[in-house]
Amino acid sequence: MRAGKVLYVGISDAAAWVVARANTIAELRGWTPFVGLQVPYSLVNRQIERELLPTAWALEMSVTAWSPLASGLLSGKYVDGDQASGRLGADTISERDQAIAHETQAVARELGASSAQVALAWLRAQSPLIHPIIGVRRVEQLTDNLAAVDLELRHRGPRSPRCRQRDRTRVPDGNDPGHPRLRLRHRR
């Protein structure tokens, strides 16, 4: 860093306490802190919302989301029955994940977009500091994924279709919020 050969450093797939500790030590010693966090994040895998996202925001870090399409599950091909061309077998997809993929596809049809575009637009809607890593095999996939930049899932009033679409992408997450939210929910 001091020699100017590395401008920024990030960390990948680390626990929130590790990131916080490392940046605190860096601050105390006058070192360069991590500025980016690379983690899996998608409509199917939202575990980082519990600790890693709040840590990233508190430490003013950007977040690079890998597997934003959940290994292709959110691309729509598993909903349409084209499982032979994918990496996931039918026996590896849970009912919860299948429900999320179906709901994503339904929202995509309403918007005239692809499932991949809806999943990527959902990520973009979470924060401007979250950016996905997209992996494609064909030019058509790249073109489709990049078109997500023009797709917005926004609240435009309580009865607007876009409001309902954004809410629907949140509903079937099934994530365990963990402690302390779990305990608070049971007290209600």
Domain ranges of the chain: 9-175
Q: Which whole number is the average pLDDT over 64-89?
A: 78
Q: What is d(CA 73, CA 87) in angstroms, rounded to the nearest whole number?
A: 9
Helix crossing, 161-170 with 95-111: angle to 10°? 160
Radius of gyration, alpha carbons of the chain: 18
- Closest to 41 (Cα-Cα) out of 13, 2, 77, 18: 13
- Selecting from 3.40.50.720, 3.90.930.12, 3.20.20.100, 3.50.50.60, what CATH number does the domain 9-175 have? 3.20.20.100
Q: Record the tokens describing residue 154, joined without a space.
A: 């926004």
pTM of the model: 0.79
Helix (H) or strand (E) holding 119: helix 115-126
Q: 155 pLDDT band (50/70/90 cuts)?
A: low
Instruction: Check residue 142 and give its pLDDT.
Output: 94
